[in-house]
Amino acid sequence: MSKLTDKQYQELGKKLVNFYELGYTNKKHAISFSFFKGLAGGFGAFLGGTILIGLVLWILSLFDQIPFIESIRSTLIR
């Protein structure tokens, strides 16, 4: 996959602006779609992070003692 240069990004941006200004799409629909896409992405990241942290904590709970964690805990409790 090739990376785009700054000039190519600028050209792409100009094409997108022209696309919206010429009326090929409903601006209100495009903005609402972007908003909901952002909400879904944020919720997915939150949910995925929560599941990942939960799995790590569950795996750690299976051990009776973890030497590295115990040394940190004893340092913090003092």
Does the pLDDT of residue 1 top 70, yes or no?
Answer: no
Domain that holds residue 34: 6-77
pLDDT tens for each residue of 64-75: 777 777 777 778
In a domain, 1, yes or no: no
In a domain, 39, yes or no: yes
In a domain, 58, yes or no: yes
Is-contact 54 61, C-beta < 8 A?
no
| Higher-pLDDT residue of 42, 66 | 42
Q: How many domains does the chain have?
A: 1
Q: In angstroms, what CA-CA distances link 54 with 16, 42, 46, 50, 66?
A: 41, 18, 12, 6, 17
Amino acid sitting at position 55: L
In a domain, 51, yes or no: yes
In a domain, 43, yes or no: yes
Supply the pTM of this predicted model: 0.54
